[in-house]
Amino acid sequence: MASSNTGFSTAQKGICITLAAQPHTECTLQEPLDFEGVGLHSGAPVRMRLIPAAAGSGIVFRRTDLDNFEIPANGRNVARVSYATSLMRQGVLISTTEHLLSAFIGHSVDNVIVELDNLEVPILDGSALPYVEAFLRTGLKPQRRRREYLRILKPVEVTENSKDGTKFIGIYPGTGYQIDYRIHFSAPIGTSRFLGDLDTGAYADLIAPARTFGFREDEPMLRNMGLIRGATDACAILIGAGKIQNGPLRFDDEFVRHKVLDLIGDLALAGRRIQGRVVAERAGHAMHTALVSRLMKDRSAWDLAHVYDDESQEQTEPAHAAFTRTAHA
């Protein structure tokens, strides 16, 4: 299990976890950061540079191999969302954005230009940890513009029935950035729940290291679809014959933590950090981004705030509830 020096409890009965303490001004990177790897699905080699950007510019992807064509990271540009979240504008694609966007939200990075020389963000180790470690090494640069938060004013929900059960995601008014996420898989994953408030604290220790995962029996189908061409046991947890094939896990509930990591990255496409409560069960990229789309279309469901409210008129849980888990049920 990944260690934490934050002082939060990691006892079996629960985990207290929060995102990095939030200044209320925007931040960018102190200096450019370079990454190199392959795309999880394309298998294509890619070089990526994260460049500090002006206040108010948000996260913008730039394809250096296509005359510096730019795609802002927002819900209007969401494209393919089956096994990864991708952006598209005028036929130009940026694939598998969720881990990087999650790291930006988790570490309070507001404004960055993301330069890529290919179509897919590198998978690295399958988590957001390499990004967060780089941010911690170089530091962030505070900017003078006040940060805006997307404050949820009324419930917005998405439901889908499937052969595996009802899939659900909803967002509700609340303080901080609360997440309640449940997953249901066959052994060895089982049923897990991650519950808590992401307002102030330990994303780097307790969410960022959680890696993506996949099942050996799905590999032929996915490769025939042109997917997971860059997948190896160095960038994903592999499950086959009812067991984990490349342990040890970084957390005993790493699977649901990775789902939370993905959720944070996908909801970043709302364009601002959320203030509210998110509840999800059996959800995934398609459900996450469908929620963003439905939320953005209903202007009465949210407004913009410069600080987090101390209280919410429809709060139903304490703002700093401990994360709890029910793993391998």
Residue 173, preceding bond cis, omega within 30 degrees?
no
Which domain-ending residue is among 126, 146, 166? 146
Query: What is the pLDDT at residue 200?
Result: 56
Based on the structure, what is the number of domains in the chain?
Answer: 2
User: Residue 155 falls within a domain, yes or no?
Assistant: yes
Which domain-ending residue is among 114, 146, 178? 146
Query: What is the pLDDT at residue 95?
Result: 96
Who's near 209: CB < 8 A, 6+ residues apart?
A: 2, 127, 128, 129, 250, 251
Regarding whether 232 and 121 lie in a shared domain, the answer is: no
Regarding whether 189 and 102 lie in a shared domain, the answer is: no
Query: What is the pLDDT at residue 20?
Result: 47
CA atoms within 13 A on the CB side of 265: 28
User: Residue 12 falls within a domain, yes or no?
Assistant: no
Cross-strand partners of 237: 213
* Residues belonging to the chain: 329
Query: pLDDT tens digits for the chain (329 residues)?
Result: 333 333 222 322 233 343 444 558 999 999 999 999 999 999 999 999 999 999 999 999 999 999 999 999 999 999 977 789 999 999 999 999 999 999 999 999 999 999 999 999 999 999 999 999 999 999 999 999 999 999 999 999 999 998 878 999 999 999 999 999 999 999 999 999 998 777 756 789 889 999 999 999 999 898 888 888 889 999 999 999 999 999 999 999 999 999 999 999 999 999 999 999 999 999 999 999 999 999 999 999 999 998 765 444 444 433 333 344 444 44
Residue 195's CATH number: 3.30.1700.10
Query: What is the pLDDT at residue 8?
Result: 26
Query: What is the pLDDT at residue 327?
Result: 43
User: Residue 301 falls within a domain, yes or no?
Assistant: yes
Query: What is the pLDDT at residue 299?
Result: 97
Check: CB of residue 208 under 8 Å from CB of residue 261: yes
Who's near 34: CB < 8 A, 6+ residues apart?
A: 47, 48, 49, 50
Query: Taking the C-alpha atoms of 254, 257, 263 and 266 in order, what is their torsion angle to the nearest 10 degrees?
Result: -50
Regarding whether 157 and 113 lie in a shared domain, the answer is: no
H or E element in which residue 102 lies: helix 98-106
Amino acid symbol at 139: G
Query: What is the pLDDT at residue 308?
Result: 63
CA atoms within 13 A on the CB side of 94: 30
Check: CB of residue 201 under 8 Å from CB of residue 17: yes
Residue 137 and residue 98: Cα distance in Å, rounded?
22
Please give the DSSP secondary-structure letter assigned to residue 99.
H
Instruction: Determine how β-strand 149-152 pairs with β-strand 273-281.
Output: parallel
Regarding whether 156 and 137 lie in a shared domain, the answer is: no
pTM over 0.85: yes
Regarding whether 287 and 157 lie in a shared domain, the answer is: yes
Query: What is the pLDDT at residue 274?
Result: 95
User: Residue 186 falls within a domain, yes or no?
Assistant: yes
Regarding whether 176 and 112 lie in a shared domain, the answer is: no
User: Residue 320 falls within a domain, yes or no?
Assistant: no
Residues annotated as catalytic (active site), given as ranges: 285
What's the 3-state SS for 141-206? EEEEEECCEEEECCCEEEEEEECCEEEEEEEECCCCEEEEEEEECCCCCCEEEEEEECCCCCHHHH
**For the sheet containing 45-52, what is the strand order?**
33-38, 45-52, 112-116, 59-63, 69-72
User: Residue 16 falls within a domain, yes or no?
Assistant: no
Q: Which residue range forms the structural domain that includes residue 62?
A: 25-146
Regarding whether 167 and 41 lie in a shared domain, the answer is: no
Percent helix / strand / coil, the chain, rounded to 5: 20, 35, 45
The CB density around residue 168, as the number of other CB atoms within 10 Å, is 17
User: Residue 64 falls within a domain, yes or no?
Assistant: yes
Regarding whether 79 and 161 lie in a shared domain, the answer is: no
Regarding whether 156 and 126 lie in a shared domain, the answer is: no
Regarding whether 138 and 269 lie in a shared domain, the answer is: no
Regarding whether 285 and 160 lie in a shared domain, the answer is: yes
User: Residue 269 falls within a domain, yes or no?
Assistant: yes
Residue 141's CATH number: 3.30.230.20
Please give the DSSP secondary-structure letter assigned to residue 275.
E
Regarding whether 108 and 72 lie in a shared domain, the answer is: yes
Query: What is the pLDDT at residue 223?
Result: 86
